[in-house]
């Protein structure tokens, strides 16, 4: 729990009132800012170098936002109009870097929260990357291959002018996987007539990096491994809940299997499956095929393997040792967090961005659970994206083993910096959220101070 002094609480209230006033109705953005400001504001009270330079006030104003129309034609000849966005949040410590999300729920408020979080996350990786995020309210579900291709080409026909290997380097996120990144990169290359590292998550044949597909999920489990180790415990034999069934969920399950844990759930927006015997590598392979090739629903897992499917529900009421929310924002409410705590859960590592509501975080921390916030726990993905950029600049490719070793080290380093900035109280409980916020902030803030007033 984050207990503030009356002076800090008043400063935070005043700051948040201004943020809400300037960004009306953008609830996800308010939520993300509040989560960070609650730690930064007390931290800077005695640090005029940050406070007087108004660093936190500057950080809640993105450098710029591009909004554009995306017109495309479906196979039946009809014309469709979607909206495209790129939030270039901060390039204080490197080019704008962050994914693209294609989902009907995409709004400016969601992309602003994601871009804001990305700036701190990218700083935490220790690599030279600023923060950005973009996407569209386009829904790839139910679209043909050619429709997805035409949409991606139309989207990039506008976005390309804002990108560059030293300017802004997008990647995937929800609804943007290997297929979409390939179409986007192809169109960039065609229009700009340049083969440069302007997107990450590319195919291995055209500048992609080994381990990028796995990195977010693997990293999220490595973070949990390190938190357990810090408490003298191990991950093997632990029963784990995983939500989502996309890229992050799949590779979270895979690493859990490698490390001898027992992942028992997967979900999508329609419901979840519970496989009490544990999802093994063979069943996971089936899920990868289901999602990447057939583009089917997780419900089919229940039919295929004869397990329960819970329509319209999320997995958090199933008893477990560890939980890995890997689907989307605000997928664990305060009430669901209580179920997790009461059923014996001891740790949460957030694969998705901001999956826990504030009340859920408060519940986890009050119960002294190990709680790794998204900006630390899922930073492995963007870290390997950073390494993809390095390989592209050097025009060479590193091996799988080398990249996995790099990823493991980045996650260990993030864990250690969270401990350094987040250990508090007599019991040295590690507030990983505070640790991640402060460690991420300091590097960006120091760079901004050095640049002077801008
Ligand atoms: P995918 O598109 O591969 O998978 C998304 C999964 O989440 C699907 O199972 C999807 O179900 C589910 N989902 C999406 N929206 C909702 C919703 N509104 N309610 C319930 N379920 C939903 O995306 P990723 O696995 O790449 O991303 C998952 C999360 O991880 C996101 O929060 C993303 O920002 C974050 N992340 C991703 C990184 C990456 O490298 N890919 C890096 C760091 C974070 P359905 O098919 O029904 O929509
Ligand atoms: O939220 C994220 O960190 C991502 N979607 C990955 C961003 C990236 O540039 O690899």
DSSP string, 362-413: HHHHHTT-EEE-HHHHTHHHHHHHHHHHHHHHHT----HHHHHHHHHHHHHH
What single DSSP character describes residue 265?
A: E
The percentage of the chain sitting over the pLDDT mark of 70, rounded to a whole number, equals 100
Ligand 2 atom nearest to CA at 212: 10
Q: Which one of the ligands is nearest to 174 CA?
A: 1
> Which of 87, 89, 94, 99 gets mutated to test ligand 2 (max ligand atoms within 8 A of its CB)?
99
Q: What was the pLDDT predicted at 152?
A: 98
- CB within 8 Å of 95: residues ≥ 6 apart: 129, 130, 164, 165, 166, 167, 168, 169
Give 76 Cα–ligand 2 centroid separation in angstroms.
34
Between CA 115 and CA 110 the distance in angstroms is: 9
- Residues in CB range of 85: below 8 A, 6 or more apart: 65, 66, 67, 68, 106, 108, 111, 134, 135, 136
- The DSSP secondary structure of 5-69, one letter per residue, reads PHHHHHHHHHHHHHHHHHSTT-HHHHHHHHHHHHHHHHHHTT-HHHHTTTHHHHHTS-SEEEEEE
CATH homologous superfamily, domain 214-372? NAD(P)-binding Rossmann-like Domain (3.40.50.720)
Q: Using most ligand atoms within 8 A of CB, pick from 102, 125, 269 the residue to mutate for ligand 1.
A: 269
What ligand has the least distance to the C-alpha of 329? Answer: 1
Asked whether the predicted pLDDT for residue 57 surpasses 70, the reply is: yes
Average pLDDT over residues 17-43: 98
Output the CA 328–ligand 1 centroid distance in Å: 5
For residue 165, report the phi and psi dihedrals to the nearest 5 degrees: -60, -20
Ligand 1 within 6 A of 123 CB? no
| d(CA 189, ligand 1 centre) in Å | 27
The Cα-based distances of 62 to 25, 51, 437 in angstroms read: 17, 19, 18
CB count in 10 Å sphere of residue 204: 12
Q: pLDDT-derived band of residue 1, with 50, 70 and 90 as boundaries?
A: low
The structure tokens listed for 296 are 């089917």
> In this structure, what token pair is assigned to residue 413?
């380093």
Band (425; pLDDT cuts 50, 70, 90): confident
Q: Is 248 in the pocket of ligand 1 (CB under 6 A)?
A: yes
What does the chain come to in residues? 454
What mean pLDDT, rounded, does the chain reach?
97
146: tokens are 């050619």
CA 52 to chain centroid, in Å, comes to 31
CB 72 within 8 A of CB 82: yes
Fold of 64-195: Rossmann fold (3.40.50)
User: Helices (DSSP H) in 69-159: which residue ranges?
Assistant: 108-124, 145-159
Mean pLDDT of all residues in 46-74:
97
Task: Please tell me the distance between residue 248's alpha carbon and the centre of ligand 1 in angstroms.
Answer: 7
Q: Which ligand is nearest to the CA of 378?
A: 1
pLDDT score recorded for residue 428: 86
What would the two tokens of residue 237 be?
């034999």
Comparing CA positions, the residue from 265, 188, 236, 211 lying closest to residue 382 is 211
Residue pLDDT, tens place only, 117-144: 999 999 999 999 999 999 999 999 999 9
Q: Do domains 64-195 and 214-372 have the same CATH topology?
A: yes
**Atom 3 of ligand 2: nearest residue by CA position:** 382
pLDDT tens digit string along 279-337? 999 999 999 999 999 999 999 999 999 999 999 999 999 999 999 999 999 999 999 99
Whether 426 shows a pLDDT value over 90: the answer reads no
Give the three-state DSSP class for 428: coil
Domains of the chain, residue spans: 1-61+430-454, 64-195, 214-372
Q: Determine if ligand 1 sits within 6 Å of the CB of residue 100.
A: no
The Å distance, Cα 425 to ligand 1 centre, comes to: 35
* Atom nearest to 101 CA in ligand 2: 5
What pLDDT digit, counting tens, does each position of 221-266 carry? 999 999 999 999 999 999 999 999 999 999 999 999 999 999 999 9
Nearest-angstrom CA–CA distance, 63 and 42: 25
* Residue 291 bears catalytic tag: no
Residues lining ligand 2, judged by CB closer than 6 Å?
97-99, 118, 121, 171, 173, 200, 353, 378, 381-382, 385
Global pTM value: 0.98
Q: Which ligand gives the minimal distance to the CA of 249?
A: 1
Q: Say yes or no: CB of residue 315 within 6 Å of ligand 1.
A: no
Query: Is 351's C-beta closer than 6 angstroms to any atom of ligand 1?
Result: yes
- Residue 174 Cβ contacting ligand 1 at under 6 Å: yes
At 2 the pLDDT is 67
DSSP code, position 173: B
Measured in Å, residue 101 CA sits from the centre of ligand 1 at 9
Mutate to test the pocket of ligand 1, among 87, 106, 173, 175 (most ligand atoms within 8 A of CB): 173
Look at residue 435 in the predicted model and tell me its pLDDT.
98
Please report the pLDDT score of residue 105 as a whole number. Answer: 97
Predicted confidence at residue 29, as pLDDT, reads 98
Site to substitute for ligand 2 among 118, 125, 214, most atoms within 8 A of C-beta: 118
Q: Using a CB cutoff of 8 Å and minimum separation of 24, what contacts does 236-240 make?
A: 236/260, 236/261, 237/261, 237/262, 238/262, 238/321, 238/322, 239/264, 239/319, 239/320, 239/321, 239/322, 240/264, 240/320, 240/321, 240/322, 240/323, 240/324
Strand-pair category, 262-263 with 239-242:
parallel
**Pick the catalytic residue: 133, 202, 255, 291?**
133
Q: Which CATH number fits domain 1-61+430-454: 3.30.160.340, 1.10.260.40, 3.40.50.720, 1.10.285.10?
A: 1.10.285.10
Which of 18-27, 148-157, 385-394, 421-430 is least confident?
421-430
How far, in Å, is the centroid of ligand 1 from the Cα of 326?
A: 6
Q: What is the pLDDT of residue 10?
A: 97
In angstroms, what is the span from residue 34 Cα to ligand 1's centroid? 23
* Atom 4, ligand 2: residue with shortest CA distance: 99
């Amino acid at each position: 729990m984050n207990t503030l002094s009356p002076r800090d609480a008043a400063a935070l209230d005043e700051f948040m009132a201004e943020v809400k006033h300037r960004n009306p109705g953008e609830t996800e953005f308010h939520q993300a800012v509040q989560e960070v400001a609650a730690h930064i504001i007390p931290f800077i009270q005695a640090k005029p170098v940050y406070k007087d330079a108004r660093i936190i006030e500057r950080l809640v104003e993105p450098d710029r936002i591009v909004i554009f129309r995306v017109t495309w034609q479906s196979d039946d000849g009809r014309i469709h109009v979607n909206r495209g966005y790129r939030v270039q949040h901060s390039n204080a410590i490197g080019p704008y870097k962050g994914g693209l999300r294609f989902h009907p729920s995409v709004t400016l408020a969601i992309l602003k929260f994601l871009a804001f979080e990305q700036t701190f996350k990218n700083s935490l990786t220790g690599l030279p990357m600023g923060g950005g995020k973009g996407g569209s309210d386009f829904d790839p579900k139910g679209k043909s291959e050619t429709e997805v291709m035409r949409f991606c080409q139309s989207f990039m026909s506008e976005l390309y002018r804002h990108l560059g290997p030293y300017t802004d380097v997008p990647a995937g996120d929800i609804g943007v996987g290997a297929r979409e990144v390939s179409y986007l990169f192809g169109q960039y290359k065609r229009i700009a007539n340049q083969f440069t590292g302007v997107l990450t998550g590319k195919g291995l044949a055209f500048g992609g990096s080994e381990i990028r597909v796995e990195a977010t999920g693997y990293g999220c489990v490595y973070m949990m491994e390190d938190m357990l180790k810090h408490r003298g415990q191990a991950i093997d034999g632990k029963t784990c809940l995983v939500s989502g069934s996309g890229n992050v969920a799949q590779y979270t399950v895979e690493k859990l299997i490698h490390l001898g844990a027992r992942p028992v759930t997967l979900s999508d927006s329609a419901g979840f499956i519970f496989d009490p015997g544990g999802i093994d590598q063979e069943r996971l392979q089936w899920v990868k095929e289901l999602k990447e090739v057939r583009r089917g629903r997780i419900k089919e897992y229940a039919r295929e393997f004869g397990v329960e499917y819970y329509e319209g529900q999320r997995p958090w009421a199933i008893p477990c040792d560890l939980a890995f929310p890997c689907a989307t924002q605000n997928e664990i409410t305060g009430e669901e967090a209580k179920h997790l705590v009461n059923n014996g859960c001891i740790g949460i590592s957030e694969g998705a961005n901001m999956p826990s509501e504030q009340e859920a975080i408060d519940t986890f921390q009050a119960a002294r659970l190990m709680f790794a916030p998204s900006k630390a726990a899922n930073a492995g993905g963007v870290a390997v994206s950073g390494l993809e950029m390095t390989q592209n600049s050097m025009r060479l490719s590193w091996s799988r083993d080398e990249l996995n070793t790099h990823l493991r080290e980045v996650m260990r380093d993030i864990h250690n910096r969270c401990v350094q900035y987040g250990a508090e109280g007599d019991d040295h409980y590690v507030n990983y959220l505070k640790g991640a916020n402060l460690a991420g902030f300091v590097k960006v803030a120091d760079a901004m101070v050095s640049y002077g007033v801008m």
